[in-house]
A and B are shown apart, each in its own frame.
Chain A
Amino acid sequence: KQEVTQIPAALSVPEGENLVLNCSFTDSAIYNLQWFRQDPGKGLTSLLLIQSSQREQTSGRLNASLDKSSGRSTLYIAASQPGDSATYLCAVSSDSGYSTLTFGKGTMLLVSP
């Protein structure tokens, strides 16, 4: 059974800092890995999707890496801004069957001005 762990559970940084969020998963047989953002009381917004054959994906100030063999992914946020404050969720898609996602519990990020 796939399990996804995210560290840290919460993170508070001053504006402008670069930061790294970590995600690990127990079963390396995945199709892809997605990073989502969830704002309080809102739905999930997909930030980046990395296919199992890829090593990283970039979008603006965000960079996600994937090391499938070791079961790890990181989300790097450059020059953090208060608007980045949200919960970041990592989710992996199983290698078998249809692409249901297994989620971690998230990292709650607070960027202070």
Chain B
Amino acid sequence: DTAVSQTPKYLVTQMGNDKSIKCEQNLGHDTMYWYKQDSKKFLKIMFSYNNKELIINETVPNRFSPKSPDKAHLNLHINSLELGDSAVYFCASSQVRTEKQYFGPGTRLTVT
């Protein structure tokens, strides 16, 4: 059983396009996150949602808009894609702050 799933796994698109990445967790967790892993493999938090409410927005351009329709889903929509957006995006979830975070398999976004 997949705990945290993301779709698509790979996404290749051109500059200026708008795209979405979907994330779902079946762990019953109340907190979900989006992380970005750049070309140097450095992972950095982008957003954190708790019970469908935005908690953290870490200096991310407003072209990135997370949406949480329910506790099990946190989608990431990106407008006007730029070359610098190319990266691997990871979704994660946890129950409370003291517990482990479980990561999805990642979505590799390539902007050409």
Does A44 have its Cβ within 8 Å of any Cβ on chain B?
yes
Compute how far the CA of A98 lies from the CA of B53 in the bound complex, rounded to whole angstroms. 12
A87 to B43, CA, bound (A): 12
Chain B residues lying within 8 Å of A91, measured Cβ to Cβ, are 43
Question: Does A42 contact B97, Cβ atoms closer than 8 Å?
Answer: no
Q: State the CA gap A101–B101 with chains docked (Å).
A: 9
Residues of A within 8 A of B50 (CB): 98
> With A43-B106, A97-B56, A98-B48 as given contacts, are A105 and B94 in contact (CB-CB < 8 Å)?
no
Does A102 sit within 8 A of B, measured CB to CB? yes
Q: Is the CB of B100 within 8 A of A34?
A: yes
By secondary structure, the A interface counts as strand
Secondary structure of the B side of the interface? Answer: strand
Give the docked Cα–Cα distance between A49 and B45 (Å): 18
Of B4, B33, B105, B106, which contacts A100 at CB under 8 A? B33
User: Could you tell me the distance between the alpha carbons of A46 and B45 in the complex, rounded to whole angstroms?
Assistant: 16
- Residue from B35, B43, B55, B92 with most neighbouring chain A CB atoms (10 Å): B43
Contacts of B92 in A (CB 8 A): 44
Q: Is A31 an interface residue (CB 8 A)?
A: yes
Pick from A87, A100, A102, A103: contact of B48, CB below 8 A: A100
Shortest distance between the CB of B22 and any CB in chain A (Å) = 15
- Who on chain A is nearest to B56 by CB? A100
Within 8 A of B (CB), among A35-80: 36, 42-46, 49, 51
Q: Within the complex, which residue of A34, A87, A97, A106 is in contact with B101, where a contact is CB–CB below 8 Å?
A: A34
Please report B residues at the A interface, Cβ cutoff 8 Å: 4, 31, 33, 35, 40-45, 48, 50, 55-56, 58, 90, 92, 94, 96-106
15 contacts between A and B (CB under 8 A): A32-B98, A43-B105, A44-B92, A49-B100, A51-B98, A91-B43, A97-B55, A97-B56, A98-B55, A98-B56, A98-B97, A99-B98, A100-B45, A102-B45, A105-B41
